[in-house]
């Protein structure tokens, strides 16, 4: 069951994957050492921070059309909201060659971890997600950069599916599943 914390949990897992893959890589020479080097902010904000080396920006959320009309997991519950998350991954090392090496390592790490189990013990978030490399047409990726009012930078897109956000409330027309009857004592006619 996943709640409203699911989006943040998925972003955190992706960030952790990148840090684990890059932190000990001798070729990267310490470009990514910890979570502080990986930003979840948009590329414009990340570029302003000199210590952050890569942006994993959740730029779009769409409803998964294939799971939209599945029945609720429990009788009387509202169906889960099934989402696809779209991430733009952009390196910011200050050097074109380092950008390519860093992006190559991130591509490798996400490819090797195409199926990830997301679980946080303190939160009601449990999901198995698929991390899929997206081939966006040039015009669509250009529109993203134009919306940021930034010149195009080397970047790639990933689609993460399926993240579910379960409803907390019961349906108003939920069927009655159990009835308890009994007699009281001391009732006067």
pLDDT at res. 119: 78
Strands 156-165 and 54-63: unpaired
Domains, the chain, in order of start with CATH, read 6-165 (3.30.2000)
Asked if residue 85 lies in contact with residue 61, where contact means CB atoms within 8 angstroms, the answer is: yes
Question: In whole angstroms, what is the distance from residue 2 CA to residue 106 CA?
Answer: 27
Confidence band, pLDDT 50/70/90 cuts, at residue 160: very high
pTM of the model: 0.82
pLDDT at res. 73: 64
Question: In whole angstroms, what is the distance from residue 5 CA to residue 10 CA?
Answer: 9
The tens digit of pLDDT for each residue in 66-81 reads 887 777 666 667 778 8
Mean pLDDT, residues 35-41: 93
Asked if residue 25 lies in contact with residue 50, where contact means CB atoms within 8 angstroms, the answer is: no
Asked if residue 85 lies in contact with residue 163, where contact means CB atoms within 8 angstroms, the answer is: yes
Average pLDDT, the chain: 85
The tens digit of pLDDT for each residue in 115-132 reads 998 876 766 666 789 999
């Amino acid at each position: 069951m996943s709640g409203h914390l699911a989006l943040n949990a998925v972003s955190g897992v992706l960030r952790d994957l990148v840090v684990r893959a890059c932190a000990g890589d001798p070729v990267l020479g310490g470009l990514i050492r910890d979570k502080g080097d990986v930003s979840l902010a948009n590329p414009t904000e990340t570029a302003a921070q000199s210590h952050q080396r890569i942006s994993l920006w959740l730029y779009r959320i769409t409803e998964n059309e294939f799971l939209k009309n599945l029945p609720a997991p429990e009788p009387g519950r509202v169906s889960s909201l099934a989402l696809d998350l779209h991430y733009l991954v952009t390196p910011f090392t200050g050097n074109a060659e380092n950008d390519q090496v860093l992006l190559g390592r991130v591509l490798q790490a996400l490819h090797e971890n195409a199926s990830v189990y997301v679980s946080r013990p303190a939160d009601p978030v449990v999901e198995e997600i698929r991390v899929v490399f997206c081939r966006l047409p040039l015009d669509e990726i250009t529109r993203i950069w134009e919306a940021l009012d930034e010149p195009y930078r080397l970047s790639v897109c990933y689609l993460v599916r399926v993240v579910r956000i379960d409803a907390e409330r019961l349906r108003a027309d939920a069927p009655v599943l159990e009835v308890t009857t009994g007699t009281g004592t001391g009732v006067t006619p």
